[in-house]
Amino acid sequence: MALNFDIFTPKAQALFGMDISSSSVKMVEVAEAGKGAVGVERYVIEPLPKDAIVDGNIANLEAIQETVQRGWKKLATRTKNVAMALPTAAVITKKIIVPAGLREAELELQVETEANQYIPFALEEVNLDFQVVGPSPSSPDEVEVLIAASRKEKVEDRVAVAEAAGLKAIVMDIESYAMQTAFDLIKKQFPNEGKDQNIALVDLGANVLNVTVLRNDQTVYTREQAFGGNQLTQDIMRQYGMSHEEAEAAKRTGGLPETYEAEVLRPFMESAALEIQRAMQFFFTSTQYNSIDQILLVGGSSVIPGMDETVSTLTQVNAMVANPFASMAINPRVQLKRLVADAPSLMIACGLAMRRFDP
């Protein structure tokens, strides 16, 4: 069976990161900026029609393809190679222990044998990849290997979107791994670079609140809850008798009544903070840990002014809004103010764009 998932395959060639979320297509291109520095070359966020993506699955290929084409045109790059990602829920990952020193063919065989036990589908129905993580913590004669597998159609749907738009998908990552790559650019902002701390990455998306707790670059916990920015859109529609489109536009550009903040926005932010607090309680009861040291807010809703303070107050944990571009050089064609506002929702696209520097 072909081990052809390409999550871990190094690709040292020009590419840009493309994140297809439930609400938009986000593209980021980074490049070397001299002396080992990285710079943001260009980026674009192109909104998707409602229900083009449903539960992480591509429901309207044509609409997404058109959105990708529009986005690529606005991005104004010659690069056609893209790094994309699968939703974390669409991928099964498992760490296994194997004897050290196996040849590639022996390792492939071992991975297939192990994968059979953990994957609830026939192996011919999945794309599978693996990477040797390093020596096993328990024995020097063994190594840890990370296996990743997803249903073939999940991979093929995303590749088809890229191809239909005239692009070439050369890396297929996992959203949580891409997020972690972007987090590596941010952790310098934490005390002691976050060492020995439990850091909660809270992704406030359109429909889902995703919490990933990292400790020393390892994921120790992950949880998804049905709550997101669409809740705020619904609240605006209900309160002011608007259509979905009107509410979305008003949410982004303003023009809502003076009472909006007290009646709608503050209750939404408090609900978000309570959802985060709830996710933290689940983390405490299902792991050996009983504290979170930092909360890093990512995703579109995290840029709402005051969201970080509301979360900090209610959870009693320091919360900051993510900006993976803070230490990067910024190309003059990129509007800095807009980039700072968009940065938290560009985490996955940024992590994918960084794949061009893989050794």
User: In the predicted model, what is the mean pLDDT of residues 55-83?
Assistant: 93
Q: What is the pLDDT of residue 7?
A: 53
Helix (H) or strand (E) holding 330: strand 329-330
* H or E stretch covering 99: strand 91-99
Cα–Cα distances in angstroms (integers) from residue 152 to residues 117, 126, 241, 314, in the given order: 18, 5, 43, 42
Query: Is the distance from CB of 352 to CB of 185 less than 8 angstroms?
Result: no
3-state secondary structure labels for all residues of 6-74: CCCCCCCCCCEEEEECCCEEEEEEEEECCCCCEEEEEEEEEECCCCCEECCEECCHHHHHHHHHHHHHH
pLDDT digits (tens, 9 = 90+) for 255-313: 899 999 999 999 999 999 999 999 999 999 999 999 999 999 999 899 899 999 999 99
The predicted structure's pLDDT at residue 359: 67
Can you give the pLDDT at residue 4?
46
Contact 124, 144 (CB under 8 A): no
CATH of the structural domain 90-151, one choice from 3.40.50.1980, 3.30.1490.300, 3.40.1360.10, 3.40.50.11540: 3.30.1490.300
How many Cβ atoms from other residues are within 10 Å of residue 1's Cβ? 12
Query: Mean pLDDT, the chain, as a whole number?
Result: 90
Two tokens at 267? 């209750």
d(Cα 95, Cα 306) in Å, to the nearest integer?
Answer: 39
User: What pLDDT digit, counting tens, does each position of 194-244 carry?
Assistant: 999 999 999 998 888 999 999 998 889 989 899 999 999 999 999 999 998
Q: What separation, in Å, do the N-terminal and C-terminal C-alpha atoms of the chain show? A: 26
Q: How many CB atoms lie within 10 A of CB 222?
A: 16
Are the CB atoms for 131 and 177 separated by under 8 Å?
A: no
Decide: 311 and 304 in contact? Cβ < 8 Å: no
Answer whether residue 26 shows pLDDT above 90.
Answer: yes
pLDDT at 1 over 60: no
| 308-354 confidence digits (pLDDT tens) | 999 999 999 999 999 999 999 999 999 999 999 999 999 999 999 99
The model's pTM is 0.89
Tokens of 40: 């943001």
Residue type, 158: R
Confidence category of residue 185, pLDDT binned at 50, 70, 90: very high
Alpha-helical segments (H) within the chain:
61-75, 104-118, 152-164, 175-186, 229-240, 244-253, 260, 266-286, 307-315, 336-342, 347-353
Would strands 294-298 and 218-225 be described as parallel, antiparallel, or unpaired? unpaired
Read off the pLDDT of residues 159-181 as tens digits, 9 standing for 90 and up: 999 999 999 999 999 998 899 99
Tokens 């986000």, residue located: 26
Geometric angle at alpha carbon 338, from 336 and 339, rounded to 5°: 60
Q: d(Cα 12, Cα 17) in Å, to the nearest integer? A: 14
Q: Is the pLDDT of residue 10 over 80?
A: no
Report the DSSP beta bridge partners of residue 319: 295
